């Protein structure tokens, strides 16, 4: 049995740090990035089981939607969950069309991420083995 690996992408480094530390304490392997271009490279190298992506990253060369698109080009089966402060029907539609599994609004609780992780782990198609 291997450990679940998650990638957290957010331009707020405090969020990246908090999520990484929380899940490391729970026994998961974590990696993080604070901009979209770095995130795509980390994804290529680490191949996480689940990726949490902030949509609005104003200081990044690419936003979260473009980051999602590039990750899906690398692995169309990547499990991606979008994070954002703004609930926007257009963004939800765009990210779902690109293959995002969930859309969580900030501020979020770790339990919100836990629910997504549990659902993805238990989806039953054998793509994640623990």
- pLDDT band per the 50, 70, 90 thresholds, residue 127: very low
Question: What's domain 5-121's architecture?
Answer: 3-Layer(aba) Sandwich (3.40)
User: What mean pLDDT is predicted for residues 101-106?
Assistant: 91
Residue ranges covered by each domain of the chain: 5-121
User: What tokens appear for 100 in the block?
Assistant: 């995002």
The pTM of this model reads 0.91
User: What mean pLDDT is predicted for residues 18-36?
Assistant: 96
Calculate the average pLDDT of the chain.
90
Cβ burial of 76 (10 Å; 0-12, 13-18, 19+) is exposed
């Amino acid at each position: 049995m291997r450990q679940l690996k998650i990638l957290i992408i957010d331009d707020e480094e405090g969020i990246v740090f908090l999520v990484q530390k929380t899940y490391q304490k729970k026994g998961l392997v974590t990696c993080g990035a604070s901009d979209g271009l770095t995130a795509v490279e980390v994804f290529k190298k680490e191949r996480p089981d689940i990726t949490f992506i902030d949509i609005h990253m104003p200081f990044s060369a690419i936003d979260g939607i473009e980051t999602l698109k590039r990750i899906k080009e690398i692995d169309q089966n990547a499990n991606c969950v979008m994070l954002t402060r703004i609930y926007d029907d257009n963004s939800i539609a765009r990210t779902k069309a690109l293959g995002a599994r969930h859309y969580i609004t900030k501020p979020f609780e770790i339990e919100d991420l836990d629910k997504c992780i549990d659902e993805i782990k238990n989806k039953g198609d054998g793509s994640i083995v623990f």
